[in-house]
Amino acid sequence: MKIHLPLTLVVFSACGVGIETPSPVDPVTDPDPQLQLKKPEQRMLIPNRPEELTGIPCDVREVLQAACAGCHAQAVYFGSFSTRADLAHVSDRAHERVTSTTAPMPPYGASRQLTVQERVVLADWFAAGAPAGTCGALTAP
Does a structural domain hold residue 15?
no
Paired strand residues for 135:
56
pLDDT digits (tens, 9 = 90+) for 23-56: 444 545 555 555 566 665 655 555 555 446 789 9
CA dihedral defined by 137, 139, 70, 114, rounded to 10 degrees?
-50
Distance of alpha carbon 36 from alpha carbon 40, whole angstroms: 13
Percent of the chain scored above 70 by pLDDT?
Answer: 60
- Report pLDDT for 125: 94
Does a structural domain hold residue 112?
yes
Average pLDDT, the chain: 75
Least confident of 7-11, 74-78, 104-108, 137-141: 7-11
Question: Residue 119 belongs to what domain range?
Answer: 26-127
| Residue 94 φ then ψ, to 5° | -65, -40
Tell me the C-alpha to C-alpha distance, in Å, between residue 52 and each of 38, 43, 55, 63, 81.
Answer: 26, 20, 9, 23, 21
pLDDT digits (tens, 9 = 90+) for 93-116: 889 999 998 999 999 888 899 999
Does a structural domain hold residue 96?
yes
Does a structural domain hold residue 138?
no
Does a structural domain hold residue 1?
no
Does a structural domain hold residue 79?
yes
Does a structural domain hold residue 111?
yes
State the total domains in the chain. Answer: 1
Does a structural domain hold residue 37?
yes
